[in-house]
Amino acid sequence: MKNILLAALLCLSFPLSYQVQAKEAEYTTGAPEIHGRVMGVSEELRCLVCQGQSLADSNSEFAVDMRAQIQEMMEGGMNDRQVVDFMVERYGDYVRYRPPFKATTMLLWFGPFILLGIGVAVLYTNILRRRKQVDETPLTEEQHRRAAELLKQDSGENKA
Residues that bind other proteins (CB under 8 A): 21-29, 44, 46, 48-54, 57, 59, 62, 65-66, 69, 88-100, 102, 104-105, 107-109, 111-112, 115-116, 119-120, 123-124, 127-128, 130-131, 133-137, 139, 143, 146-147, 150-151, 154-155
- Please, which residue, 2 or 23, has the CB nearer to other proteins? 23
Report, in Å, the least distance between residue 13 CB and other proteins.
13
Alpha helices in 57-105 (DSSP H): 61-75, 80-91
- From the centroid of its chain, how far is CA 80? 20
Report, in Å, the least distance between residue 28 CB and other proteins.
5
- Please, which residue, 10 or 27, has the CB nearer to other proteins? 27
Q: How far is CA 156 from CA 7, 63, 142, 146, 148, in A?
A: 102, 76, 21, 15, 12
**Residue (of 88, 106, 110) closest to 97 by Cα position:** 88
- Please, which residue, 1 or 19, has the CB nearer to other proteins? 19
Task: Judge residue 56's burial from the number of C-beta atoms within 10 Å of its C-beta, 0-12 exposed, 13-18 middle, 19 or more buried.
Answer: middle
DSSP β-bridge partners for residue 158? none
- Please, which residue, 8 or 99, has the CB nearer to other proteins? 99
Report, in Å, the least distance between residue 16 CB and other proteins.
14
Report, in Å, the least distance between residue 4 CB and other proteins.
24
d(C-alpha 20, C-alpha 26), whole Å: 14
Report, in Å, the least distance between residue 48 CB and other proteins.
4
Which residues are within 8 A (CB) of 54 and not within 5 positions of it... i.e. 6 or more apart?
42, 43, 44, 45, 46, 47, 97
- Please, which residue, 8 or 147, has the CB nearer to other proteins? 147
